[in-house]
Amino acid sequence: MAAIQRRADAHGIKVPDLAYGALNCMMSHCMESYCIGRIGQAIREKGGDLPAWSDSARSIGIYEGKKDIGQERGPHSAD
- State the residue range of the domain holding 22: 2-63
Q: Is residue 48 part of a domain?
A: yes
Total number of domains in the chain: 1
What is the CA angle 71-74-79, rounded to 5?
Answer: 95
* Three-state SS at 33: helix
Q: Rounded to two decimals, what is the model's pTM?
A: 0.57
Using 50, 70 and 90 to split pLDDT, how confident is the model at 1?
confident
| Domain annotation covers residue 34 | yes
Report residue 9's pLDDT band, with 50, 70 and 90 as the boundaries: very high
CA distance 50 to 47: 7
Q: Is 76 exposed, middle or buried (0-12, 13-18, 19+ CB in 10 A)?
A: exposed
- Asked if residue 17 is part of any domain, the answer here is yes
DSSP-assigned letter for residue 72? S
Distance CA 53, CA 34 (A): 18
CB atoms within 10 A of CB 79: 7
Residue 72, in any domain of the structure: no
What band does 50 get if pLDDT is binned at 50, 70 and 90?
A: confident
pLDDT > 90: percent of the chain: 24
Residue 45 counted as domain residue: yes
In a domain, 79, yes or no: no
* pLDDT exceeds cutoff 90 at 19: yes
pLDDT at residue 3 tops 70: yes
